[in-house]
Amino acid sequence: MRVGMTLSLPREPSTVARARHVLATLLSLTDVADDVRANLAVVISEACSNAVIHADPGSTVDITISIDDDVCLLEIGNRGGTPDVAKLTADLPAPLTIGGRGLPLIAALSDTATFADGPPDRVLLRITKHLSKVRTAS
Level-2 CATH architecture, domain 2-130? 2-Layer Sandwich (3.30)
List pLDDT tens digits, range 44-73.
Answer: 999 999 999 989 999 999 999 999 989 999
DSSP lists the bridge partners of residue 109 as none
DSSP lists the bridge partners of residue 6 as 64
List pLDDT tens digits, range 77-127.
Answer: 999 876 665 455 555 555 555 556 788 889 899 999 998 877 788 889 999
List pLDDT tens digits, range 6-37.
Answer: 999 999 999 999 999 999 999 999 999 999 99
DSSP lists the bridge partners of residue 130 as 71
Q: How far apart are CA 103 and CA 79, in angstroms?
A: 18
Let me know if 119 is exposed, middle or buried by CB neighbors in 10 A (0-12, 13-18, 19+).
Answer: exposed
- So where are the chain's domains? 2-130
pTM: 0.85
* Beta-carbon-side half-sphere exposure of residue 4 (alpha carbons within 13 Å): 14
> In what side-by-side order are the strands of the sheet with 112-115?
2-10, 60-68, 71-79, 122-130, 112-115
* Beta-carbon-side half-sphere exposure of residue 123 (alpha carbons within 13 Å): 23
Q: How far apart are CA 111 and CA 129, in angstroms?
A: 5
